[in-house]
Structures are given as C-alpha cells and as structure tokens.
A and B are shown apart, each in its own frame.
Chain A
C-alpha cells in the first residue's frame, strides 16, 4: 500500500515553522505532495476522480450549475431519522421526571434484561427487568456498571485506519475490491474471529455471510470456556447441546467447580431460585442443600452447606467417584490424595442426598473439561433431572474453530484477511500461541469493537461499536429466550451496531440500525397479528414472547462411558489455575472504575489480581501476603504479588484473567498482570508444572478488608436448620440494660412512615450487586488503587466477609453493612455543627453543605459505615465519573465532607411527592432502595417499620431478627435475619468441616 498523507502532515506543512513565515502560493502546491492522492481517495472517495481529471469548460459550467442547485439544498435537513427539537417537549415527558425503557444488555455474552431509567434522554440507572428470565428483576454488578461504560470517555469514537482517524466511507472503498474478490473465490483467505455475543439477528447475518462466502473460516475465542459444556454433551449424547439449568425448587444442588450463583450463565436466576429454597427452609418447609466442590473460593462455595476445596484437576476424579456412587459405570480413578478424606465424606453425603432428592441438579463449571461435563450430564440423566431441572438446547450461533487453528492458518498463510468482531485475541489469546506476532502478518485486518484495544491497535481498520444502551439489536439469554435491545440515547460517537457492521460487510452499504433489526424480526417471527403491534409489545416488555426457546430431548449413548478420556495421571508439583475475575471477567470490563474498585467477593482485593494460594502451601513456600513471586511455566513467566486465601486447595495457585491490560483505557491500563501470558491453548484453564519463586520484593495489595476473623463477636449469627427448629430465637440476645431516660422507638416518633431495613443473611450470597447499585444510584466516586490501599474507599454499603474454622476448609460468611440509621445514633451528638441529624421519619441524615469535616461522627460510629472525601474525588482527572453518568437526584459531594448511606432518601422523597400529588398514602413497596431493588436473592427488605403489616416489619418480626452491636444501645434501624445452614446428617458430626454439631433434616 502506498504512503498516505495524513491531515496532521498537511497541517504541519502549512504551519509556521523555523525562522519566519513560509509562503505558499496555492493549494496546488499542497496537492502536489506525495500521498495527497491517497488521502483524497480515502477522505472523499467519490470526489477524488473529479480532482484527478482535468476539467474542461463544459465541465466547469456543469459544476457551477450543480453548485447553484445544491446551494438551495443546503436548507434541507437530513431526512434519515426524525429529530424533534427539545423545545417542544414530547408528550408525557416532564423535565426531571424519569422515563423507563425495557432493553437488554450483553453481560459476558448473554442477555440480561433491564429496565433503564432515563432523565432528559440520558440513561442514569439500570435495574433488572422482572419479565426477563435471566434477571427476574434483579441485577448484577456488571449490568449496573454498564452504565458507566456508556459514558466512558475512552470508548472508541471514530473509524480508524492505520491508527489515524478515518471514515466508514473510506472503509467501504477499501472493502469494495476485497468483497468482489471474496465473492469470486467464495471467501478464500477470509477469516472471522467472533466474540461471544449471543444474538439471533446477528447470527442470521453471520449465517448469510457464511452462505455467501463458504470458503471463509470462522473462529471463536472461548472467553469463559462454555464451549466445553457442548463438547461434554457431544461425548454423552453424540451431538453438541447446550445445557440449561433450572434451580427452581431444586432440593439438592451439586456444583462441580461451577460458580453458578455469580458468574455461570443465568446466575441471577440461579441465585433467585437458590434463595427461594433457603427462604423456604427458614419458613418451616424443607430447605435445599448445596454441595460445592471448587478449585478456588467463590461466593457459590461460600453459600454451600458442604464446600470441598479440590484443585481443578481433581474435579474429574471427584465427578467419576460421584458418578460411581450414583451407580453409573465409569472408569474409576482414585480421589486426589490431598483431600481424599474430606472428598469421600462429601461424595457419600452428596450421593445419599441425590438418591433421595425430588429435584436434584448437578452443574459442572464452564472451565472444567468436557469429560466432567459429560459426567455431570450423565448423572443428571441418571437422576431423572433431564427435562426438569436440566434441559437441553441446540447450540446457538455458528460453530467456530478454536483460536489455535487460526494461529496455524495464519502461519500457513491460508488467511489473508481477518475480520474480528468484538474480540480481543491480541490481549487474551493463550501466551503459547504468541498470537500478536502471527497476527501482525495478516495482510488485511479489520476490527469492530467498543474500544481501540490491544487488537484494534494492531489492525489496519477499526470500526467503533455502539454501546448496548445506544444500539438496536437483540440478545439471547442463557435459557434461549430473546429480548430486544433498544437505544436510550443517540450514539455518542460514530459507532456502528453489530447489525450495521455485518450489513456493511455483506452489502457494502451503510444501513440504518433500527431497520436492520425490524427487518430481521419481520422476516423471522411468525405472527398472527400485525408486526407493528408485536414490535411495540416486545419493546415494552423487553422480551420477545414469540421467541420461546426450543428444548430438545436426548438420551445418552450406550458407550459414552468408554469414550471418556483417560483420567490425567496424578500430578506432582503445583497446579496453576486460571480463573475468571469476579469483576473484570476476562478483561472486557477492565476500563470500568466501578468494577475495578469493586472488592472481589472473597479476597476483597480491588484494582488488580494476585496469585491466590492456600495458607498451608504459602507456609511451606514461606510466602506472605503481598510478596511478589515469579511464576513461570515453560519459558514464559510473570511477576505478581501473592494473596493467601483460606479455603484454597493446597498445592495449587490461582491467577485471575482480565488484568494487565495495555490498551484498555486510562482506568484499566497497567492494573495487575495479564495471566493469559502463561496460558496454554491446549490446557487453557489449568496446567501443572508451574514454578514459583520469591523475588524478594513486596507490593501493597489494595484490600478493603484486612482482618478476617470475627474475634468471637457475634456480628454474623447463623445456625444449622436443626438448631433453628428447636430454638428459633437462637440469634436473640437479652435486651440492653434499661436506661433511666426515655428511649426513642420508631412507634413513638410522630411522623409516618418510619423507615427501616432488614437484611436476610440466610439468602445473602455476598455477590456485590448491591455495592455497585449503590454506587450508581448515589454518585459514589472511584478513588483508585492507592487510595483503596490507604483505606479511603468510598462504598456506602460494604460486604463484610469473615472466615470461621480451619484455614484450609473455612466456612465463609457475608454481611452487607449499610448505615444502621440508629435510633440513638452515636454520630449525631458528636457533630459540632449539626451536619448529621435525625429526621422525623427515622433517617440519620447527612447535611453535606453544613459538614466541616471533623470526622468525629466516623470516629464514634461503631459500624464504621461513614465515608470521607479525603480529596476532591469527584473531580479527579482519570477516575472521576463523567458528569453525565451521575444521578441528578443525588448531590455530588465535594472534598472534605463526610457521606454515608441515606437509605436512598432521594427515592423516599420522590415517592412521597408522588403520593402527595396523587393524594394516595404511600403503600408498602412504593419506596425501594437501590440495594434492595438490585439484590438477586431479595435478601433486603425496606419499608415502614411502624406499620406491623409492612414487609420489613414482618421480616423483623421473625425470631431470627437481630441487630448489630445492640449492647451499645444504638438501636439500629437496619437489622439482620440470622443465617441458616443445612448440613447433611451424614456429615453433621464434623468429619468434613467440623462446624455442624446437630443432626439436621434431610432435604425435601
């Protein structure tokens, strides 16, 4: 390709330089420069010939006439889409009053249906769509944080060519000869790399492209390993199928290294259904029981009644043993020696429970091998779970080849054009592929994605993707149901939706985004009524009711067990496990400050990753938290600090993916290390023979919790179900000594309603969704790694995590701690300027503009829920939340003031105003706090505690209700419902984890 003159060069050549002005005679002089022709062709492809041809007299006259005619056209507006000037406020639109729209977002490749709140055409908050099967009205941190992603100033803004701003017109021109060539050869030499977007309309487009260019090759980067589930199904049933788990009413749930409550597809629905089983137990019915075997602690393991720490390569043996215990004939292997004792008890208890269960389900983790998936599916089939708690679907989308094939194809020079759609293999391809080197040798590389990321920088062409909140599209959830994506805002930059991009490749023309989507659905959906009515219905509901998933039935092959691969030989040495990061996932969320600063649920680490290691192994290797180690595998190595994680299996190291980005943006660059550098394409999730060596250096870790034991203080109270049945009030304590003074109580206060909160520790799984929801709702600033390490984090609600029991098999417990809104608030009487006071409806209020920042309130708060603006966090250069993302109903706090949970007072007041206008009293449930609304397990109740019939009063009336540190006579308005565990009777005598003393009932 010949040299292209850039606009910068042009400007530079005109700029004054050296010793005085340099005169230029005419623009022709510039036009004579080398590369000008190329620039012209790229910038104005249709006009270039005019420049290059000589113009004759007749031509001049024609152009003048045309110019005269076109001058009149300048008065015409763009006809494409209607833009209504805002001076005429649309019907039903009131400034300051929010409008809500149902849409969907891709969360790690799957659809999460949301209700988006917009103010004056600006999305400010996302909530779960109750009608969407993947969210059921709840939300997760990723979805909440997508809002910040929309306003991310680092998003790609324009098409780029060779790292220079370009246009789609130029791209179309560049594609024209190539598309002709592909049409001729059937796509010979063309390859696509697809990200994990599960969208029916996009898949239809892709299938059309495949039909058009049959010789093209299709590759997929399996970010979270979900391909292995289908391979497992292939081994068992003889054809690849996608399992869809349904935990509703499940009484025995077995997880084989599946983080089913916090990251497996459908996790929000799983968490809701799991919590329903816990809640049933608390209400007196049978309680479900969760067995988890996992290779690194997750919230799922923490929620388990029986958690077993097994290195990732031991899960296979465990699955085989469990299958045998259930009567399946599979080739046996011994259990891994390190955990054999515990594992045997775990398997026995699980098998006993499964045999008696009404509705059991066994779930294998996405990162586990196909064999484990096959075994899990076979056990489900054996237990009769197929078609009930486990259903099967045909795979969505195109069958793609793994990335290593692409690497080989490039090396063999059979690929000369590469089109990457929402994929970033240069960053996340396994290190042994040396992908970025091979990648550079492809002659034509085109990237479509939201950021100019590592891959985009190495591509010739880049087209920015629109954010889901500014796109038209559709997205399929884990269970196959489909929701529409509708834009809440005009695309801020020159992004193209996926459908536009595919149409551009297919037709060589720019198409309008909505038309592409509606055309697809008009053609696809078989509707009895008219299309327009259905379209409106889908947009309103957020779900395409007509696109019900088709489940298929399958039966295991007769010889599946023989076809299981030989179990891996017992390893010696350390196992290196690659785990998805609980907040930045595979790195796609790395530039999101809310997610970077969100503490990982178990380790409480923010801003980066660390080599996770069991306490015993750390003691053997003489490692302490923060020690930097050199981790090497074959000839590749990286350095990372160590973090000791109780409950981690011994002789294994876990390192999370998703950090160490170099082109994520100003937030994500240079945070942590890129674990992908050590990965092997053949064994992407765990691999033996890792070597670890201390470097002698140490690095502070940005942890939000530094002490992990409760020190015998009864902060989190829990009991086995059996104990609870005998003594429902086990969490109660004697009331504090009676005061000589009259004590305030909610009922005695004059105003109504009296607000209060109840948090159910029986259903809280510690997933962090409330933390991000609170951050989004309340404009909580991001402070950065250094500040978190100094203890300056700002989250208004935090999830405390405590360990209990032995370090190698601890029990983990979570406790969300917002402000307690104490009746006798210790913070209030010490403030010298009355900046924090009690409202008549029982809120402990913070008056920002009165606060001078003595911080006495925080000193005197026994719960330490107050947060201080040590610096001007809301205006920090790199990390400040863009103003547009802020909730206009909440003050952005200045430097030097204290802040804390307000019980979402802005929601309370707006509900009161609404009630006042409509002349109706506030009903229970009219005020929903952000944490409550988002909670996947509905563990939070909020409402009027003076009304005995409100949901929160009913929750507080339960015998499990207790308050934190009530001996201080603070009389907190936020109280907790004690947690319950349901250990299996066979393990109840402490041979697995030593916690359960009492016999407990069998499930169901």
Chain B
C-alpha cells in the first residue's frame, strides 16, 4: 500500500455528484448496452418461466437427479446464489461499522445484488421440492393437523435463514435508499415521477432528526447484520454438515462456507463494478482504487477458502473412515474429477494473480477473475453436492448423474432473472449512494 489514489475526482462537489447520479435515473434514454442487456436478460427470464412451467407440470424428474444423488443442480445453485448474496451485506454493514470509506460508491449495487441473489437463492429450494405447492408446510402456521415443522431439520433453519436474510437485506437496502429517494423526488420534473419517488421517500426532508435516526437505525442494523452474514451461510452449510453423508459431514463447513460465500460475493461485486462503470461511464466514481480494494477483499477470502480445502482433505483422511477417504479419492479421480480440478484451477490457481497490484487495478483482469472465481465457487458447490452422495456407503448404489438440459435452462434463466432485476434496479434507483458519497466529500474536506 504505497501511495493511495483518490477514491473520487478532486473537483467533485455535492451538487455535481447529485446531478450526475440522479441523471442516470431521471435522464430519458439509457445507454444502448443497458437496453441490450435488458433484452437478453428478459429472454433468459422467459426461459426461466418456461422451465418452471414444465417443472411444475411434470415433476422434479426433469432435473438430473436420482437415488443416490437426490440433490443436484438446484441445491448447488441455492448455495451459490446464497454465497453471492453475502458480500452485499458485508460491504454495507461490516464496512460501515469499520468505517471503510471506499464502500460509498459500491455499496448500493452490492446491496441490490444481495437482494436479487437471495431471491434466486430462495426460489431454488422451493422449485426443487417434489410437491412445491406444499412449500408452506415448512412454515409454523396453526393447522388442523396440529403439526409444526420439525425443528431438528436444518432445512427448517435454512428456510428461516433465507427468509431472515431476505427481510433484512430488503429493509437495509430500502433504509439506505430513503435519503436518495428524497433527492430524486426533489429533482424529478414529471409529476408521476415525483409522486413515485415521493411515496417511496416516506416524507424524508433531510431534517437533522431524520439524519440522527437514520444513523442510529443503520448502525443498529449493521450491528445485527454481521452475525446474520455468518449465520445464514453457516446454516446453509449445516444442511450438508448435519447429515451423515461422507463429504457433507464436516465440522469445518460453517466457516468454510462463509468464507466461500464472501469470496464469490466480492467476485460478483467486482464483476458488477466493472460492468456498471463501463455501462454508465462511472470510471471517476468507481475507480481502479475501488477495484483494488475489492481484489484485496477477494484475496483475504481466497486464502481462507484455500486453507479450508486443505483442512477438508485433512479431515477426510484423519477421520480414518474408508467412506470419507474414498469420497476424496473419487473427487480426484472419479467421474466428477473435472469439477474438482476446475475448482482448484479457478479458486486456488488463478486467484493467486490477485497478489499483483496491476491485476487488481485492471478492470478487465478483475472482470475475468470475478467470472472465474464465481465459476470456481460454483464448481466447488457442484462437487460437494454431487460427489458426496454419488458414491457413499453402499457401493451397490453408486451411480453417476449429470445435469439435464432443464437444469441448465433453469440455471441460465435464474441468471437472466438476476440480471433483469439488477438492470431494472439501476434504472429506477440511484445505483450509487448519493448521501454516502456526500458524506465522503464532506470527510475529504475535513481531512484536507
């Protein structure tokens, strides 16, 4: 960390910033790349809808699942989406608490990303159910059977974890949007727009009392967020770790999964940062220095995840159980070995490039590493879910199963849904937190 580059242009003033950011929303014509992106994502969302219709009409047999591999791509994707959802909260909450100023220009779309990722993550467990129309059996609602959910099952914890996270993320996002919505209300020229943002702004007037309450609320929520970040992914990992399946049953799973989640989350933030700054020409607000910081965050979690890999292998060996050892040998040499080695290449090999400052500061390199890291994290979840049950205790049951076309279609569709929601969000809401940036400008004045 030699000379630190400025995180914003020197000439940035409050007025200019507000003008700039609100224009992205209020200006009439979005960039061409945005429109192309929306069309592509909308088409993929259509694929998602078609896939779901077919799924609900025929049954989960359309996925590449069987006995013994009764969880396949849907669960892989759940864990993957949950992971992506994590960096958003971490950036908003933990970096807020630790007063990391650089978060100001990226926290808004990171939170939006978290929100939409959790939507995708929450859809998968429902659509992978054999009878999705009875999903509400997981709710503790009064019923004539006198039955509650089974509290010993991690899937119930899972249900509450995802629901909590969704509620929390959406409230946090909305709370931090309030001052900016008010700015938009004030700047909007059309009456309908004014009404829209005015209703959403809930009467925010920039009153000192408002700000004091706002500060207290965000700080409190951020303090609550930190344990939630750990708990949600930790609980998702318990879906696996609480079982007795070799390859699932490891006590290191909760921290391992949290680190993995944050790695994929920061990788996704990096992708979005590069894409959005290019799409909306925000190179001055989302600077290379931001990418550098994101790269450093990724690097921290790369190290933790790589350590977890070694510990997982060690635990498999140290358990002394033939089944656990076999699962590892099978991961290295079995039918799913390409997934394991692909994960090692992406998450252990390529990520080491993040040690280099030039790499971290290059938008293209960060985009590429963001994509490979997300791929690597996807492969990690794939190999955990598939290899662990495909060859577990009874060799007579061993079987290999591969995702089907419907698996891929629905996965691609969920990516499209995520992209569509995000693109609509950046069009309707300020993608950069204006009030956080103003605070930063104010801080700059104080420092300088």
Contact = CB atoms under 8 A, between A and B. Distances in A.
B342 interface: no
A867 B70 CA distance: 10
A208 B144 CA distance: 71
A831 interface: yes
Contacts of A871: 58-59, 61
A832 B394 CA distance: 25
Interface stretch (A112-120, A141-149, A704-712): A704-712
Contacts of B69: 791
B448 to A, nearest CB: 56
- The bracket for how many chain B residues form the interface is 35 or more
A968 B392 CA distance: 13
Contact of A855 (B71, B159, B242): B71
Given A715-B394, A851-B131, A858 B153 contact: no
A964 B395 CA distance: 13
A537 interface: no
A870 B61 CA distance: 4
Interface string A683-714: 00000000000000000000001111111110
Given A826-B244, A829-B153, A896 B59 contact: yes
B155 A853 contact: no
A800 B59 contact: no
A791 B399 contact: yes
Given A790-B66, A863-B393, A872 B138 contact: no
A819 interface: no
A710 B150 CA distance: 35
Nearest to A793: B67
B378 to A, nearest CB: 20
Contacts of A351: none
A711 B324 CA distance: 13
A898 interface: yes
A884 interface: no
B349 interface: no
B84 interface: no
**Interface centre among B60, B137, B248, B395, by most A CB within 10 Å?**
B395
B392 A706 contact: no
A817 B394 contact: yes
B16 interface: no
B70 A868 contact: yes
A826 to B, nearest CB: 5
B130 A852 contact: yes
Contact of B130 (A787, A790, A800, A898): A898
Interface string A851-880: 111111011101110111111100000000
Say which size band chain A's interface belongs to.
Answer: 35 or more
B364 interface: no
B130 A853 contact: yes
Given A830-B243, A895-B59, A791 B66 contact: yes
A896 B153 contact: no
A895 B131 contact: yes
Contacts of B60: 853, 870, 896
A794 B99 CA distance: 58
A306 interface: no
Given A830-B155, A853-B60, A862 B401 contact: no
A715 B397 CA distance: 12
A854 B239 CA distance: 11
A798 B399 CA distance: 15
Contacts of A817: 394, 396
Contacts of A852: 129-132, 134-135, 137-138
A833 B149 contact: yes
A9 to B, nearest CB: 41
Contacts of B68: 791, 858, 864
B61 A792 contact: yes
B394 A864 contact: yes
Interface in B130-147: 130-132, 134-135, 137-138, 145, 147
A833 B70 contact: no
B152 interface: yes
A867 B156 contact: no
Nearest to A705: B396
Contact of A831 (B129, B134, B153, B399): B153
B159 A830 contact: no
Nearest to A706: B399
A815 B111 CA distance: 55
Contacts of B135: 852
Interface secondary structure of A, over-half rule: loop
B65 A896 contact: no
A802 B130 contact: no
Contact of A862 (B130, B392, B395): B392
Interface string B266-285: 00000000000000000000
B196 interface: no
A895 B128 CA distance: 13
A804 to B, nearest CB: 12
Contact of B242 (A712, A815, A830, A833): A830
A493 B243 CA distance: 54
Contacts of A289: none
Contact of B243 (A709, A787, A792, A860): A860
B395 A866 contact: no
A706 B400 contact: yes
Given A850-B137, A870-B65, A834 B129 contact: no
A965 interface: yes
Given A706-B399, A850-B137, A897-B130, A872 B149 contact: no
A815 B395 CA distance: 12
Contacts of A711: 322, 326, 395
Contacts of A661: none
A801 interface: yes
B67 to A, nearest CB: 6
B71 A859 contact: yes
A712 B389 CA distance: 18
A791 B401 contact: yes
Contacts of B239: 856
B368 interface: no
Interface string B383-418: 000000101111111111100000000000000000
A871 to B, nearest CB: 4
Contacts of B398: 706-707
Given A859-B243, A862-B244, A968-B244, A707 B396 contact: yes
Contact of A872 (B59, B159, B323, B326): B59
B150 A834 contact: yes
A855 B68 CA distance: 10
B395 A870 contact: no
Given A712-B322, A871-B58, A854 B155 contact: yes
Contacts of B394: 715, 800, 817, 862-864, 964-965
Residue of B58, B65, B69, B400 with most partner-chain A CB within 10 A? B65
A933 to B, nearest CB: 25
A852 B130 CA distance: 6
Q: Which has the most chain B C-beta neighbours within 10 Å: A787, A854, A894, A968?
A: A854
Nearest to B239: A856
Contact of B70 (A859, A869, A895): A859
Interface in B53-83: 58-61, 65-71
A817 B394 CA distance: 10
B245 interface: yes
- 7 closest A-B pairs by beta carbon, nearest first, are A853-B130, A896-B130, A870-B61, A791-B66, A800-B396, A855-B70, A832-B155
29 contacts: A706-B400, A707-B391, A709-B395, A715-B394, A790-B401, A798-B396, A800-B396, A802-B396, A815-B396, A829-B153, A830-B152, A830-B155, A832-B150, A832-B156, A850-B147, A855-B130, A858-B67, A859-B70, A867-B67, A868-B70, A869-B59, A870-B130, A871-B58, A872-B58, A872-B59, A895-B130, A896-B131, A896-B132, A965-B393
Given A832-B153, A863-B393, A968-B244, 12 more contacts: A711-B326, A800-B396, A817-B396, A829-B150, A854-B125, A854-B128, A855-B71, A856-B153, A859-B245, A860-B243, A862-B245, A895-B130
